[in-house]
Structure 1
């Protein structure tokens, strides 16, 4: 899977939320100031070239849809983060969030309960 830029990833989030979209549909999902039509059209073409989107053509208009599921992208992204920053250790990753106070002790306990429940 080819790496996405921040703008490409942002657009993929929009398309995953919509399931399919013409350029104008995607633009409507952005806050003001809205991106220019050509910017979104170019990003969609680039995402198609990278294998993230495909399209159906309707009289010269392209309706794009995701080829890669959001969950699949998330799994790949998280594995890369885990490998790059945490030496493939989930413990190191959780310790990071605990040290940075991004996760509270109560949330950590809830996480342990979730894990234990899923293993039963």
Structure 2
């Protein structure tokens, strides 16, 4: 299954479907934000999403029931990888540094979600670089922990 890019309108429809998982056209229309596109337009986009293999259909009488094939998380991963490749030259550390600089995330957030176990072996001494928030975070994680005193 190959994930492809979606137009903004297709993404709006997929957002509605990801919240519903399976739905009929009337359910999708009810879930879309205002101003709602015409029903025929949504129907055309649904047909395109089926062709792009984001959805599958099941015919029930004269109407179709649409079911999501590609989960939201897979699409998010696809878009994030594209974003990093395009704007950060495939270097995710630059992305984390930027998030820290913008205060979108903090080192405490990173501590909360990651337990990093590494050993740092310096190859050679280099000129001291300006400490970035990410460098300080890595140094904090890799420094030896002090033993707690027993009472």
TM-score band, normalised by shorter chain: 0.7 to 0.9
TM-score w.r.t. length of structure 2:
0.69
Alpha carbons of 1:59 and 1:68: their partners in 2 closer, same or farther (altered >3 Å)?
A: same
> Paired residue for 2:52?
50
> Paired residue for 2:67?
65
| 5+ long unaligned stretches in structure 2 | 117-151
| 5+ long unaligned stretches in structure 1 | none
Higher helix share: 1
Shift in Å, 1:102: 5.2
TM-score w.r.t. length of structure 1:
0.85
Aligned-residue RMSD, C-alpha: 1.9
Residue by residue over 1:59-97, the C-alpha shift from the partner in whole angstroms, topping out at 9 and shown as x without a partner, is 120110111111111111111111111111121112223
Task: Point out the structure with max Rg over C-alpha.
Answer: 2
1:116 aligns with 2:115: yes
SS class of match (2:65): strand
1:81 aligns with 2:83: yes
